[in-house]
Amino acid sequence: MIVFDRLCRYVKCLDNFSSVLNLKTCSRCKSSSTSSHRWKIRQNKDEYVELAREQGFRCRSAFKLLEINDKFRLIRPENLVLDIGAAPGAWSQVASDIVFRNSEERIFQAGVRGVIAVDLLNIDLLSGVHILSGCDILSESTHSKISQLLIDKKCDVILSDMAPNASGIASLDSENLFNMNSTVYNKIAVKYLAKGGSLAFKFWQTPDLKDFSNLLKEKFKLIKTFKPKSSRKESSEVYLIAKSFI
């Protein structure tokens, strides 16, 4: 399984490599939009994009979770982790690396250990990860799929790097993210997080952040906000970390 995982990463590296080639073609292509052109130039210069390619991660966001976990020790070997908004899968790669750190094989075991990755989009196969692609975390049918995978156990860690599609109106986007995170908290975390478990949720630096952390204070012993170095400076993104679920 470990060999398989390395193979997946190698294939992904080739994938990344071919996308670099595409970037060069696209940058000369007159039909490519200015904003996507800017995005591609930024991607090319970004040191974390480069590091992700070198280390076989599916995208640069892997480093955000690595930083979060270095600082707060949320995920530990043998844990059951739920990764929400997981595509393309970089956080699940990091989580699986940690969960199976001491194991010879990476095999997801329902109700025992491994990573459950949920997204509306497709997530390619990853060892140690049970993938729920095409699943909306806000829908009841997804909740029952998660429940079946947990059997009688609860998650040790719940991660959410989700964000709604940007509308361009900051206050509306912020309200949408607040509603999304509140639903995940009330319908998933409260129900499926083990006592003593931890959360990491993406948020934006808006007044809603304070309201949401006040909500979490009722149920967690420790709440922190954290901006990883690998999170782009121009982004208002931060992570809300909650530890020791009561």
Ligand X SMILES: C[S@@+](CC[C@H](N)C(=O)[O-])C[C@H]1O[C@@H](n2cnc3c(N)ncnc32)[C@H](O)[C@@H]1O
CB count within 10 Å of CB 107 equals: 13
Annotated catalytic, 154? no
Question: Does 211 contact ligand X by CB under 6 A?
Answer: no
Question: Does 125 contact ligand X by CB under 6 A?
Answer: no
Q: Which residue from 1, 7, 107, 121 is in contact with ligand X, where contact means CB under 6 A?
A: 121
**Among 45, 202, 219, 221, the one annotated catalytic:** 202
Please tell me the distance from the alpha carbon of residue 75 to that of residue 193, in angstroms, as a whole number.
Answer: 13
To the nearest whole angstrom, how small is the minimum distance from the Cβ of residue 76 to ligand X?
19
Residues 89-118 that bind ligand X (CB under 6 A): 89-91, 118
Enter the DSSP assignment of 63: H
Please tell me the distance from the alpha carbon of residue 189 to that of residue 109, in angstroms, as a whole number.
Answer: 20
Question: Does 149 contact ligand X by CB under 6 A?
Answer: no
Q: Which of residues 71 and 232 has its CB atom nearest to ligand X in the complex?
A: 232
User: Residue 125: CB partners within 8 Å, gap ≥ 6?
Assistant: 8, 131
Q: Measured at the alpha carbon of residue 239, what is the angle toward residues 234 and 240, in degrees to the nearest 5? A: 145
Residues 13-42 that bind ligand X (CB under 6 A): none
Residues in contact with ligand X by the rule CB under 6 A: 58-59, 61, 85-91, 118-121, 136-138, 161-163
